[in-house]
Amino acid sequence: VSVKYVQQDQIYDLVVRMRTGNRRAVSRLITMVENENTLRIDIARYIYPYTGNSYIIGITGPPGSGKSTLTDKLAKLLRKQGKRVGIVAVDPSSPFSGGAILGDRIRMNDLALDDEVFIRSMGTRGHLGGLSESVELTVKIFDACNCDYILVETVGVGQSEVDIMKMADTTLVVLVPGYGDDIQMIKAGILEIGDILVVNKADRDGADQLASMLNMMQQYGESRENSRVRPVLLTSAYENKGIEELLNAILAHREQRQVSDYYHLNRMNHLRAEIMVMLQSELSKRLFERYHFDQELDGIISEMYERRINPYDWVESCVNIV
């Protein structure tokens, strides 16, 4: 019996235990997803039939804007309504060096004791198959654990965060008054990925002004061809204020999307993008395995550079054999 089959049996067992709510199995599967690139596909294959039922809420914005605090309060409100909740917190600091991760853990501590809440923090380093894939699969694992809602928190700074937010059904962009960060975010187009704009730390000066500015920008802004007007909500996560209103706005957005079929279209588009990535990576992996390009590539590139091999013909000939 090959190692591969032993591993597949083991994964199958873990998935069965995960489905009965075994938290250790959940946690082991996520660790495998993060660390063992070769097992990802097997894990994904087993859990796929049980996924697609959770509603995914993305929460992004600059560091320190209160995303973790807001996530914690939203999760608690959902728990009050009897919902099962998954939380994936992506933090740029390493899991071993970071005060931020510890901070998240401390703040979410009481949630972590709740059997109906699944929490995973992830650093941005050391994801063999890419951060966004690790998050994607962790979300699928929580989904297969029958979570009603999955909250995904990321710091909205780079492309991988933008990619992560594409898997969300409703995305919140969290801004705070008086940072100057808001202007940066607006310039970086981060607002575009939001379905709901949250002005957090409304207990501080300048929150109303920021909210009015966001509303005005949307009415008179340059991107009017994108005529979707995003609701702007004020919260003070710290004081647990405005959270119910925020959840209502999320539910209204959900309702609106489901009525218009946009929800399904969005998910199908996401699936399309996912399988394209899978196809590309699988095909190139097979080509590399078959022809040992890694060893030969240096020589081939020299010959191309000296114009003895034409790169266009070369690519064509490789692909033709597939």
Interacting residue ranges for Mg ion, rule: CB under 5 A: 67-68
Instruction: Please identify, using beta-carbon distances, which residue of 27 and 93 lies nearer to ligand GDP.
Output: 93
Rounded to a whole number of angstroms, the minimum distance from the CB of residue 238 to Mg ion is 13
Q: Hey, what amino acid is at 115?
A: D
Q: Contacting ligand GDP (CB under 6 A), which of 12, 50, 179, 238? A: 238
Q: Contacting ligand GDP (CB under 6 A), which of 54, 60, 68, 121? A: 68
Q: Contacting ligand GDP (CB under 6 A), which of 58, 66, 86, 231? A: 66
Q: Hey, what amino acid is at 3?
A: V
Specify the pairing of strand 170-175 against strand 196-199.
Answer: parallel
Distance, CA of 130 to CA of 136 (rounded, Å): 10
- Residues making up the chain, counted from first to last: 322
Contacts of 153 (CB under 8 A, 6+ apart): 59, 60, 67, 68, 71, 87, 88, 89, 90
Q: Contacting ligand GDP (CB under 6 A), which of 54, 69, 121, 138? A: 69
74 and 181 Cβ atoms separated by less than 8 Å = no
Instruction: Please identify, using beta-carbon distances, which residue of 100 and 144 lies nearer to ligand GDP.
Output: 100
Listed residue (227, 149, 155) closest to 185, CA to CA: 155
Q: Contacting ligand GDP (CB under 6 A), which of 84, 127, 140, 201? A: 201
Q: Contacting ligand GDP (CB under 6 A), which of 43, 237, 246, 250? A: 237
Task: Mark the segment that binds ligand GDP (CB under 6 A) among 165-173, 195-203, 278-286, 288-296.
Answer: 195-203
Instruction: Please tell me the count of residues contacting ligand GDP according to CB under 6 A.
Output: 15
Rounded to a whole number of angstroms, the minimum distance from the CB of residue 41 to Mg ion is 30
Instruction: Please identify, using beta-carbon distances, which residue of 69 and 132 lies nearer to ligand GDP.
Output: 69
How many CB atoms are closer than 10 A to CB 110?
Answer: 11
Gap between the terminal Cα atoms of the chain: 29
Q: Hey, what amino acid is at 46?
A: Y
Q: Contacting ligand GDP (CB under 6 A), which of 54, 65, 170, 218? A: 65
Residue nearest to ligand GDP (CB): 66
Listing DSSP states for 52-81 in one string gives: S-SEEEEEEESTTSSHHHHHHHHHHHHHHT
Distance, CA of 60 to CA of 191 (rounded, Å): 10
Rounded to a whole number of angstroms, the minimum distance from the CB of residue 69 to ligand GDP is 4
Q: Is 203 in the site for ligand GDP (CB under 6 A)?
A: yes
Q: Is 126 in the site for ligand GDP (CB under 6 A)?
A: no
Q: What's phi and psi for 80, nearest 5 deg? A: -60, -30
Give the interface with ligand GDP as residue ranges (CB under 6 A): 63-69, 103, 200-201, 203-204, 236-238
